[in-house]
């Protein structure tokens, strides 16, 4: 196994469970790849960026279970929003059957006008009625589809964009309509639990402790700081991995679970060239995410997390509260919990996320912090008086591949015509966008391919959440239609 991100870890744990001896080679000093945490020079541990899962991410949930990390993810049923003036709205499920279960909180959502809401309701009904697959969406952008659905500018900016830019890390004009519609169908319309937000209550790196154990129990080592510089093939099959120090590691099969940017450089050049099996990777574009970590000297936020409307900042996570355990603790409890907390300070630690942060890439760290502080002052007035003790900005320039219209044709599957050699990674053809769920799916699919190759087929891929209510009926009708 080359690469210890979620795709590599999911494959490794599944194959170890199936009784195989797995050797995992990871070039960095820690596991988790793009979903990881590390220690700052002052000793505080930070995630490279806040990661959240949703109830509809069934394979990621299965992976956390296998890795013994299930209890470290806490699910939240209420989503919190704040508009420019700091006015709060919430979205949550009701007793109504899907796809209507969120209608009552949507109706009272203060940040949208009646015209915005009626347009959104119409478009969502089109999605639900078609079983998640309205006609003619394959090659158009989400923005094109929203215009086709006659959405108001307010609905686009304060509803569709708010949900989708953070879910898919791309602007609506560059997002394939199929991906955007899928988010609403799977997370918000298909079932009651699909939208629930799962957030780790520990730094990301702690989620993977069980993975190393699972692999090593079967006798296979997990080797960190162990970069592969070449994947050598001979006569159409995998021969060995050549490490940075020149040594060779051979195996009966190999899964390359590195990023799509790194893979072509490890394989014979012609594989990534025109006509080669990895030709499509040249067409995948990257999209950035910026994470801003702020430590205040006092409590400034009560909610566990907040989604901002009308701002550059999209999400604010109350890390002190999320790590502390109580979901709705008041200021006093919160302050008490913070003494000696993970940040090593008294006060409050917030993490802000800006997806598709193209405009921030060239901005200085200080400019980004100043921008975030100005925006926080709108929605969290206590930050105006609070002192900022410490701040860190982490720009992930190549955070995810961009889910452009038609992008699936550039994504290779797990097998590319080389015997005993398989691919995993969020960028492979899983049908999912670049997410932890997509990465785990790719890992499970690669593990299934390895076992099939050994003549020991086994399934790891988990079914989607079952559709409920009217959505179940409409999903069945779509399947019957073909």
Ligand X SMILES: Cc1cc2nc3c(=O)[nH]c(=O)nc-3n(C[C@H](O)[C@H](O)[C@H](O)COP(=O)(O)OP(=O)(O)OC[C@H]3O[C@@H](n4cnc5c(N)ncnc54)[C@H](O)[C@@H]3O)c2cc1C
List the alpha helices (DSSP H) in 68-160: 103-107, 114-129, 142-148, 153-155
Shorter beta-carbon distance to ligand X: residue 28 or 478: 28
> How far is it, in rounded angstroms, from Cα 249 to Cα 228?
9
Helix or strand holding residue 399 (H, E): strand 388-401
Shorter beta-carbon distance to ligand X: residue 317 or 349: 317
Annotate each residue in 244-273 with x if it binds ligand X (CB under 6 A) or - if it does not, as one string.
-------------xxx--x---x-------
- Binding of ligand X at residue 5 (CB under 6 A)? yes
Shortest distance in whole angstroms from residue 144 CB to ligand X: 25
| Total residues interacting with ligand X, rule: CB under 6 A | 39
Position among 436, 445, 465, 475 found at the interface with ligand X (CB under 6 A): 436
Choices 145-153, 174-182, 395-403, 406-414; region in contact with ligand X by CB under 6 A: 395-403
Closest CA to 313 of 341, 293, 340, 298: 293
Shortest distance in whole angstroms from residue 100 CB to ligand X: 27
Q: Which residues from 12-41 bind ligand X, rule CB under 6 A?
A: 25-28, 33-35
> How far is it, in rounded angstroms, from Cα 297 to Cα 411?
46
> How far is it, in rounded angstroms, from Cα 386 to Cα 296?
6
Residue 470 in contact with residue 97, Cβ under 8 Å? Answer: yes
- Binding of ligand X at residue 59 (CB under 6 A)? no
Position among 24, 143, 146, 289 found at the interface with ligand X (CB under 6 A): 289
> How far is it, in rounded angstroms, from Cα 99 to Cα 106?
12
Pairing of strands 315-318, 228-234: unpaired
Shortest distance in whole angstroms from residue 151 CB to ligand X: 25
C-beta neighbour count of 482 within 10 angstroms: 4
- Binding of ligand X at residue 314 (CB under 6 A)? no
- Binding of ligand X at residue 7 (CB under 6 A)? yes
Position among 15, 24, 51, 204 found at the interface with ligand X (CB under 6 A): 51
Shorter beta-carbon distance to ligand X: residue 123 or 162: 162
Shorter beta-carbon distance to ligand X: residue 8 or 469: 8
Choices 4-12, 134-142, 405-413, 415-423; region in contact with ligand X by CB under 6 A: 4-12
Shortest distance in whole angstroms from residue 446 CB to ligand X: 11
Shortest distance in whole angstroms from residue 418 CB to ligand X: 17
> How far is it, in rounded angstroms, from Cα 414 to Cα 396?
26
Shorter beta-carbon distance to ligand X: residue 54 or 386: 54
Residue 155 in contact with residue 437, Cβ under 8 Å? Answer: no
Helix or strand holding residue 165 (H, E): helix 161-168
Choices 47-55, 279-287, 328-336, 405-413; region in contact with ligand X by CB under 6 A: 47-55
Position among 127, 137, 168, 434 found at the interface with ligand X (CB under 6 A): 434
Q: Which residues pair with 350 in a beta bridge?
A: 294, 318
Shorter beta-carbon distance to ligand X: residue 6 or 338: 6
Peptide bond connecting 99 to the previous residue in cis, omega within 30 degrees of 0: yes
- Binding of ligand X at residue 423 (CB under 6 A)? no
Position among 202, 439, 446, 451 found at the interface with ligand X (CB under 6 A): 439
Residue 24 in contact with residue 222, Cβ under 8 Å? Answer: yes
Q: Which residues from 397-416 bind ligand X, rule CB under 6 A?
A: 399-400
Residue 296 in contact with residue 343, Cβ under 8 Å? Answer: no
Residues present in the chain in total: 482
Closest CA to 138 of 81, 78, 86, 178: 178
Q: Residues 184, 185, 186, 191: is their CA dihedral positive or negative? A: positive
Identify the three-state secondary structure at position 193: coil
Chain residues in the site for ligand X (CB under 6 A): 2-8, 25-28, 33-35, 48-49, 51-53, 227-228, 257-259, 262, 266, 289, 291, 396, 399-400, 425-426, 434-439
């Amino acid at each position: 196994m080359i690469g210890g991100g979620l795709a590599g870890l999911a494959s490794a744990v599944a194959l170890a469970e199936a009784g195989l001896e797995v050797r995992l080679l990871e070039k960095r000093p820690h596991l988790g790849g793009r979903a990881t945490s590390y220690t700052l020079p002052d000793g505080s541990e930070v995630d490279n960026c806040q990661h959240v899962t949703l109830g509809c991410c069934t394979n990621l949930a299965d992976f956390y279970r296998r890795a013994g990390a299930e209890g470290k993810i806490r699910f939240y049923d209420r989503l919190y929003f704040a508009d420019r003036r700091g006015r709060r709205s919430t979205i949550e499920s009701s007793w109504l059957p899907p796809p209507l279960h969120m209608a009552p909180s949507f109706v009272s959502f203060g940040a949208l006008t009646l015209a915005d809401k009626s347009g959104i309701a119409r478009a969502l009904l089109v999605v639900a009625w078609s079983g998640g697959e309205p006609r003619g969406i394959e090659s158009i952008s989400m923005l094109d589809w929203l215009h086709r659905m006659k959405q108001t500018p307010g609905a686009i900016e304060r509803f569709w964009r708010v949900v989708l830019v953070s879910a898919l890390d791309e602007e609506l004009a560059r997002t394939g309509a199929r991906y955007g519609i899928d988010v609403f169908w799977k997370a918000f319309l298909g079932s009651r639990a699909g939208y629930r937000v799962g957030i780790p209550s520990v730094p990301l790196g702690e989620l993977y402790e069980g993975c190393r154990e699972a692999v090593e129990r079967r006798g296979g080592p997990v080797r960190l700081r162990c970069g592969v510089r070449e994947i050598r093939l001979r006569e159409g099959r995998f021969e060995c991995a050549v490490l940075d120090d020149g040594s060779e590691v051979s195996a009966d099969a190999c899964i390359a679970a590195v990023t799509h940017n790194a893979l072509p450089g490890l394989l014979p050049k012609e594989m990534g060239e025109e006509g080669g099996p990895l030709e499509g990777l040249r067409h995948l574009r990257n999209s950035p995410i910026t994470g801003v970590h702020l430590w205040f000297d006092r409590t400034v936020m009560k909610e566990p997390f907040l989604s901002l409307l009308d701002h550059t900042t999209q999400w604010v996570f109350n890390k002190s509260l999320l790590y502390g355990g109580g979901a709705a603790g008041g200021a006093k409890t919160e302050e008490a919990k913070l003494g000696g907390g993970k940040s090593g300070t008294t006060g409050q630690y917030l993490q802000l996320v800006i997806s598709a942060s193209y405009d921030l890439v060239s901005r200085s760290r200080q400019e980004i912090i100043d921008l975030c502080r100005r925006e926080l002052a709108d929605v969290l007035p206590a930050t105006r008086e609070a002192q900022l003790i410490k701040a860190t900005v982490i720009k992930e320039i190549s955070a995810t591949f961009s889910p452009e219209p038609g992008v699936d044709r550039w994504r290779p599957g797990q097998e590319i015509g080389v015997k005993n050699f398989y691919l995993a990674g969020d960028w492979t053809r899983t049908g999912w966008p670049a997410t932890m769920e997509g990465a785990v799916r790719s890992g499970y699919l690669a593990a299934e391919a390895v076992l099939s190759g050994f003549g020991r087929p086994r399934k790891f891929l988990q079914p989607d959440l079952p559709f409920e209510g009217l959505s179940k009926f409409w999903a069945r009708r779509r399947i019957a239609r073909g």
